[in-house]
Amino acid sequence: MKVGVVVFPGSNCDHDTQRVFGEVLGQDVLLLWHKDADLQGADVIVIPGGFSYGDYLRTGAIARFSSVMNSVKAFAEKGRPVLGICNGFQILQESGMLDGAMLRNRNVKFLSQRVHIKVEATNTVATRGLKSGEVMGMPIAHGDGNLYLDNEALTRIESQGRVVFRYCDAQGQVTDDANVNGSRNSIAGICNASRNVVALMPHPERASEKILGSDQGRKILEAFVAG
Amino acid sequence: MIQLRVLVSLKTSVFDPQGRTTLEALHGLGYKAATALRQGKSFLLTFEGIGEDEAKRQAEEMAARVLSNPVIESFKIERVA
């Protein structure tokens, strides 16, 4: 499978993502520069973490206007798989491909730490084959990860089973303490209505090899290329 | 030359973590009468070669499309010069 990893000026998880899909999972990986509209025949697209264009205006706000994002949007509209990680989540929201927006973390700190998330929806391109309720430990590294959805959007996403991951403790309990950034309903990841665009704030690519302290995130990336 | 200021702030229904943190700091300094603080962004746009109506139209479009995120923010535009 050809995995296209989009690279913006300021992306900083592009090579981590390339390594995991390429060297760990044995897929072909293409790095797709933001100025190129050509997705080079990629079967799936990953928008990696980082600080695209410095995130000076708002996280993801400038990246959405890049040539590559027009192509990614058309790709997603055809039902092809798109995964956003961290800044990738923010870019997909700014592009209107996913609901909501990210506010500053509720404690106003940049959070770089290990969290636990549990799988909720398993009928998405990034969680097929996983078990609902399965708990995974992986890092987060963000200043703006406090997911905001207005009441209408929150109700819609919950009722349509579009919460893909939720922050929880190591035992899988969804508690206020485990919801480190203050996201509504402890939501760590969501999908679009067609379930082919999935994004999460935690970094599965930083938890995909034992030497990194956890390989629990690898299942998400394996599921994403399993189709 | 026309100068327009675009003021972007979080909608009143949206929690403002930065505003609250700053307000708490102000309370700590003794400014107890301040009961609310909302943080926002200000963009000062300078236009040349177009009239006020066109400048306002363009500023409105920029604010809605780029400078603010309508999911969480609202904006207003005022003439400065």
At A131-188, the pLDDT tens digits run: 999 999 999 999 999 999 999 999 999 999 999 999 999 999 999 999 999 999 999 9
Range of the domain at A138: 2-224
pLDDT digits (tens, 9 = 90+) for B18-35: 999 999 999 999 999 999
Distance from CA of B16 to the nearest CA of A (A): 8
Note if A168 is an active site residue: no
The predicted pLDDT at position A223 comes to: 97
Going by pLDDT thresholds of 50, 70 and 90, the confidence category of residue A227 is confident
Going by pLDDT thresholds of 50, 70 and 90, the confidence category of residue A30 is very high
Kindly name the residue from A13, A116, A142, A205 that is annotated as catalytic.
A205
User: Average pLDDT in the A111-130 region?
Assistant: 98
Distance from CA of A182 to the nearest CA of B (A): 10
Length of chain B: 81
φ/ψ of B80, rounded to 5, equals -105, -45
The CATH classification of domain B2-79, taken from the options 3.90.700.10, 3.30.1280.10, 1.20.1630.10, 3.40.50.10490 = 3.30.1280.10
The predicted pLDDT at position A124 comes to: 98
Distance from CA of B23 to the nearest CA of A (A): 13
> Where residue A149 sits, what CATH number does that domain have?
3.40.50.880
* Residue B75 with chain A: CB contacts under 8 Å: none
Q: Residue A143 and residue A117: Cα distance in Å, rounded?
A: 18
What is the residue whose two structure tokens read 């780029």?
B66
The predicted pLDDT at position A57 comes to: 93
Chain A residues whose C-beta is within 8 A of a chain B C-beta are: 57-58, 61, 65, 93-94, 100-101, 103-108, 146, 148, 150, 182
What's the number of domains chain A is made of?
Answer: 1
Please say whether the dihedral angle defined by the alpha carbons of residues A198, A203, A206 and A212, taken in this order, is positive or negative. negative
Cα–Cα distances in angstroms (integers) from residue A66 to residues A14, A88, A91, A115, A192, in the given order:
17, 13, 11, 32, 21
Per-residue pLDDT at A91 exceeds 90: yes
Kindly name the residue from A13, A34, A86, A142 that is annotated as catalytic.
A86
* Residue A144 with chain B: CB contacts under 8 Å: none
